Amino acid sequence: MNLSKRIMDLFASVVALVMLSPLIAGIALLVRIFLGSPVLFRQVRPGYKQRPFTCLKFRTMVEKRDANGNLLADNERLTRLGRLLRCASLDELPQLINVLRGEMSFVGPRPLLMQYLERYTPEQRQRHDVRPGITGLAQVNGRNVLTWQQKFELDLWYVNHQSFWLDLRILAKTLLQVAQRGGISQPGHATMPEFFGGTPKP
């Protein structure tokens, strides 16, 4: 499964990058005009077997700070263009490069923050037994409307039941999810509140 999935990811990422290159270039130009430089948001995330890699996204926020120089909350820095890119999941397109490099897959648990690693239970840590994905089971079953516990349960179910046909179903549902633009964020947050560890109840 891992080798065949990697071959499919490699082929599909090359095709997608070629076909979507005009769209990617257009978005990059808009981000450069309205948000400035850098165009890409780069952040180190834990990948397969918890190995760190640089996750790529189009930038969606500005660097607004308070009087003390601290960054404002995400929902205060998220721009109109950024909101549009997130609603359509277009900010994720640079992750095709991560897939091409072998750091990510099209389908898998979403890569979270490095500081979350020490907060996982041993069971939650198993989400890193596969490559992180651009989309995943949690993304097509509620996305950021889910609680952290619900997300981890779906991630672990995917790890234990992954298959070619499951990936196809997730990809098909992803297209529907993007069209419906649902589950982008939780109330009061640009995406999800911070994960502080444990297995809180919904």
Whether the CB-CB separation of 109 and 155 falls below 8 Å is answered with yes
The pLDDT, as a whole number, for residue 202 is 38
Please write the tens of the pLDDT for every residue from 16-34: 999 999 999 999 999 999 9
Q: Is residue 196 part of a domain?
A: no
What does the CA dihedral 42, 102, 160, 126 come to, rounded to 10 degrees? -50
Phi, psi of 134 (to 5 degrees): -65, -35
Return the higher-pLDDT residue of 130 and 200.
130
Domain count across the chain: 1
Residue 52, preceding bond cis, omega within 30 degrees? no
Phi, psi of 107 (to 5 degrees): -125, 130
The pLDDT, as a whole number, for residue 185 is 53
Q: Is residue 144 part of a domain?
A: yes
Q: Is residue 187 part of a domain?
A: no
pTM of the model: 0.87
Please write the tens of the pLDDT for every residue from 128-167: 999 999 999 999 988 778 889 999 999 999 999 999 999 9
Q: Is residue 195 part of a domain?
A: no
The pLDDT, as a whole number, for residue 58 is 96
Please write the tens of the pLDDT for every residue from 82-126: 989 988 889 999 999 999 999 999 999 999 999 999 999 999 999
Q: Which residue range(s) make up the domain with 83?
A: 2-180
Q: Is residue 197 part of a domain?
A: no
Strand-strand pairing, 40-46 and 52-58: antiparallel
Q: Is residue 81 part of a domain?
A: yes
Q: Give the Cα separation of 150 and 155 in Å (integer).
A: 9
Whether the CB-CB separation of 195 and 116 falls below 8 Å is answered with yes
